[in-house]
Amino acid sequence: MTLKQNDITFTLTKKISQKHSYIRVKRDGSVIVSTNYFTSKSTILRFVAQKSSWIKKQQEKCSQKAHFHDASKEEAALIILPLVEKWSVIMIVSPSHVGFRKNRTRWGSCSGKNRLNFNTRLATMHPDFIEYVVVHELAHIRHKNHSKDFWAEVEKFLPDYKIRKRLTI
């Protein structure tokens, strides 16, 4: 069933076994509200109205992400490899391999064997964010977790990493 509240059109699904109400904003910006079979329409509309600013914020993020194109592995390599080379020298670390993948969630990863992999979409992001991800993954060569020592290592090379980390959109 499709409903509308505060300029938000959403699909409603009801299940007898569901205890709580949930709102999900899909990647395409569409909204799904799932709730208990016995929840009244007025309660659902009030719930959506209460969460409308959050929903709109999520939809805005989806529309901004839609503007990014997927980069090929070659495009990603042209942008990211020079940064890996530059920061490897500065940080005095050496990855055993650098690869590129089309991931859905991670920007980068570092294996236990110091193999770095970067999301090809990273190449379409803000240059300062790309540099942050490169330094972040290289720091994992020394620290295989997100301990205080790890974050101190990142901050040693990028004192503004907290600002850079927010530049995904």
Where in the sequence is the domain holding 139, given as residue range(s)? 73-165
Terminal Cα distance for the chain, rounded: 33
Please name the amino acid found at residue 50: Q
- Domain termination residue (choose one: 23, 38, 66): 66
Number of domains in the chain: 2
pTM of the model: 0.62
CATH of residue 110's domain is 3.30.2010.10
- Domain termination residue (choose one: 32, 48, 66): 66
Per-residue confidence in pLDDT tens, the chain, 169 aa: 888 887 889 999 998 888 888 999 887 889 999 999 899 999 999 999 998 999 988 888 776 665 555 678 988 999 999 999 999 999 999 999 999 998 888 999 999 999 999 999 898 888 999 999 999 999 999 999 999 999 999 999 999 999 999 887 5
83 and 140 assigned to the same domain: yes
Region label for 127, one of left (φ > 0), alpha (ψ between -120 and 50) or beta (otherwise) = alpha
> Do you know the residue count of the chain?
169
62 and 122 assigned to the same domain: no
78 and 160 assigned to the same domain: yes
109 and 44 assigned to the same domain: no
Cα distances (angstroms) measured from residue 97 to each of 8, 87, 106, 166: 47, 15, 17, 27
Q: Cβ(36)–Cβ(12) under 8 Å? A: no
